[in-house]
Amino acid sequence: MNAETADDLFASTHNLYTSRIQAIAATAASRPAQWLDVGCGYAHFSLEGRRRLPATRFEGLDRSESVDVALARGWITRAWKQGMNDVADAGERFDVVSLFHYLEHTQHPADELRAAARLLTDTGCVAIEIPNPRCWLGGLLGRWWFPWFQPQHQHLLNEAAVRRLFAAAGLEAIAVTYLMTDGGFFLAVAVEVCRLWSPGD
């Protein structure tokens, strides 16, 4: 649903993509040669990544048809529709495995992080980005805070929970960054408008 709108929305967030790349590059021992973006959608992030890191091979994993569109556009060099464990079983390894706004959509985040860890090279890193349920904007907006996003968001994890999940997956947290994305108040208004105009539950 709303595929064109989502495509346009993700195409408008270049500053966010740039900040992700800079944060990961600052913690990595060297420029990544292989990067897997999990839950890549149409791969707008990978497109920006290719501009910033032209020597890096960006691959995308997504269960939807959007990953096929991304491959056809040439924004990723390989498309995966399998789970991460399947990719690891195939012998693939990556310097970076990114899970941007992916874990909160999954039933078992701990299993997903263990699978991501299996995909790493010896010096590789997992990068995640998730909504923070303890952020001040969430407290201010309450039920109008967009990242509640039920029923798509199944888990909202705070930093302590993420650190425990990382440790259980054999991963060490190198850096933690809190950031505020644009549009929080606009999205809150959109949530209320949708609620008022919705004919159903």
pLDDT of 173 higher than 70: yes
3-state secondary structure of 173: coil
Looking at per-residue pLDDT, the higher value among 37 and 177 belongs to 37
pLDDT of 126 higher than 90: yes
In degrees and rounded to multiples of 5, residue 129 shows phi and psi of -140, 125
* Cα 170 to Cα 177: distance, rounded to the nearest angstrom: 20
pLDDT in tens, 142-164: 887 777 777 888 888 989 999 99
Nearest to 130 by CA among 38, 2, 11: 38
What's the mean per-residue pLDDT of the chain?
86
Q: Which two tokens stand for residue 144?
A: 């109008």
pLDDT in tens, 46-83: 999 999 999 999 999 999 999 999 999 999 999 999 99
pTM, full prediction: 0.84
Widest CA span in the chain: 53
* Cα 97 to Cα 120: distance, rounded to the nearest angstrom: 7
Q: If DSSP states are collapsed to H, E and C, what string results for 104-118? A: HHCCCHHHHHHHHHH
Looking at per-residue pLDDT, the higher value among 50 and 136 belongs to 50
Q: If DSSP states are collapsed to H, E and C, what string results for 31-77? A: CCCEEEEECCCCCHHHHHHHHHCCCCEEEEECCCCHHHHHHHHCCCC
**What pLDDT score was predicted for residue 5?**
52
**What pLDDT score was predicted for residue 200?**
62
pLDDT of 18 higher than 70: yes
Q: Which two tokens stand for residue 30?
A: 């060297």
3-state secondary structure of 3: helix
pLDDT of 11 higher than 80: no
Q: How confident is the model at residue 132 (pLDDT cuts 50, 70, 90)?
A: confident
